[in-house]
Amino acid sequence: MEYRVLPEIAKLGHVAVVSTDLEKSLWFFKEVVGLEETEEVDGVHYLRAWGDFEHHTLSLTAGDESRVEHIAFRTKRPEDVGYFAELLEEAEVKVEKVPAGVEAGQGESIRFQLPTGHNFELYFEMDQTPADPSRKARLKNQTYKAWRKGISPRRFDHVNIATNEDANLIIDFLVEKLGFKVREYFKLPNGATGSAWLSVTPLVHDIAVMSSPDVKSSHELHHISYFTDNAQDILRAADILTEEGFKFIGPGKHGITQAIYLYIIDPGSGIRLELFSNSYLILEPDWKPVEWSIEEAEFAVTYWGEQTGGASELDKPTINAGGEMSIKI
């Protein structure tokens, strides 16, 4: 096939989460975290942060087992969805075409699995639903009033996926099939890449990939992340979470990404949420991926603050992000 322009991914879009305790998840994400609910359709609740413009960046629905139904990315152009479908099918990747409206606010999309079984979705058309008058910001360049309730992060930032298989199965697929660029990575003694931070935007990562034999399956999600404007917001989040009786990891600073972080578990679904701030942008077109050795791991993962490797039960959970694909939500 010949294309005038190769298909491209523009950004991370949303994550669809199934929760065994939907009531607790809604309370956590709406009242404690402070996400806004766009609407509820057929039992699916669509949420976003005050600075998110698309219809949703997180959806929550009830189920018998907590899991991630899919992780979605938006393409740069409408035709890119179809181009990606053709390229993936040529590479013998099974692709499911999802009609417009199956997911509220969203146009046609495609779903497929990474070699490890993680469920991914690509779409372009998505409503930019305005806020209702009682929640609408006076600023025309944001959706909702900031700081209306809870921690109140600005926007959806990234996802971190995990596997008990070779991380390079995912990393190579993201780079070769979807156009991601490696920004930072761990090099194993055998020369392979053990973990990596990749992006298609100037963010230091839109997605991170980690591998460990301790991960429950080949297709897990380690965490989702929402961005706050500054480190003081993370300290404020710590106060709010403490008042609500939560245990959490952080605040601290990563060496990789240079971000200020705090990790907390949704009591309904068990999904791990990272509150993320500062970090850095990559504006250089010839950026050279930053290599870290395993001997540098402690410093690279936790520059300062509470160690995020094995220090707490909060380090251990992952949530299934694969299995059988379905266009039903």
Please provide the DSSP assignment of 285-305 as one string.
TTPPPEEEEGGGHHHHH-SEE
For residue 236, give both structure tokens: 């404020």
Matching residue, tokens 């380690």: 222
pTM of the model: 0.95
Question: Is there a contact between 301 and 251 (Cβ–Cβ < 8 Å)?
Answer: no
Q: Which of 2, 85, 15, 27 is nearest to 246 (CA)?
A: 27
pLDDT of residue 329: 37
Decide if domain 9-123 falls under CATH 3.10.105.10.
Answer: no
Question: Burial level of 178, CB count in 10 A (0-12/13-18/19+)?
Answer: buried
3-state secondary structure of 36: strand
- Taking only the tens of pLDDT, the chain with its 329 residues reads 454 578 999 999 999 999 999 999 999 999 999 999 999 999 999 999 999 999 999 999 999 999 999 999 999 999 999 999 999 999 999 999 999 999 999 999 999 999 999 999 999 999 999 999 999 999 999 999 999 999 999 999 999 999 999 999 999 999 999 999 999 999 999 888 999 999 999 999 999 999 999 999 999 999 999 999 999 999 999 999 999 999 999 999 999 999 999 999 999 999 999 999 999 999 999 999 999 998 999 999 999 998 765 545 556 679 899 977 655 43
Fold of 155-320: 2,3-Dihydroxybiphenyl 1,2-Dioxygenase; domain 1 (3.10.180)
pLDDT of residue 306: 81
Q: Which residues of the chain form CATH 3.10.180.10?
A: 9-123, 155-320
